[in-house]
Copies of this chain bind each other. A is one copy, B any other.
């Protein structure tokens, strides 16, 4: 099985795409509560954004609701899963088996959202061979290239220290991965065909403190 990264679909703004997973998450929570129908008004109130924005975002992809009757939650969930390509399970490689990597490996929400951690890698000989997550054993990062091919992985999560992050990213790109979720507090230099998303709690904290003052 060969995987290729497609070009971004040019007509739909990336910021709209970024909101779809939040819509999907909210709809699935409503479905878990036994709800069958919702509206852009209700979604907007849940999410703190305008109902017009939600309708506009969804209109890029077709007609999902009828005037006056709202959205069928189950139907809209399945449509959003198709649009986001998560109507399947994507294998994910996790690099870094420290405290954070262990928490990520244990995270229960991935599978129901379209993702499965299929391999956890580290460079530390003390860690290699130890069990981690759900039925996994920490593997030697030196086997990356082979394992990426065996497992057909395109997506990696990096839970490594900042000082190691660029080197690890280079190796991930060389091994053929094209999508990286980076928990290291650094902006990575990668080729144009590789997409990187970042998670850094400090960025969120500092964004919040801008609006605070201590007396």
Contacts and interface: CB of A to CB of B under 8 A. Distances in A.
Total copies of this chain within the assembly: 2
A7 to B, nearest CB: 8
A130 to B, nearest CB: 15
Nearest to A3: B214
A20 to B, nearest CB: 7
Contact of A212 (B24, B113, B154): B154
Nearest to A209: B85
Contacts of A187: 22, 25-26, 46-48
Interface in A183-215: 185-187, 189, 195, 197, 199-215
Contacts of A99: 102-103, 106-107
A197 B202 contact: no
A136 B99 CA distance: 16
A6 B103 contact: no
B206 A104 contact: no
B1 A214 contact: yes
Contact of A208 (B20, B106, B155): B155
Contact of A199 (B5, B109, B204, B214): B204
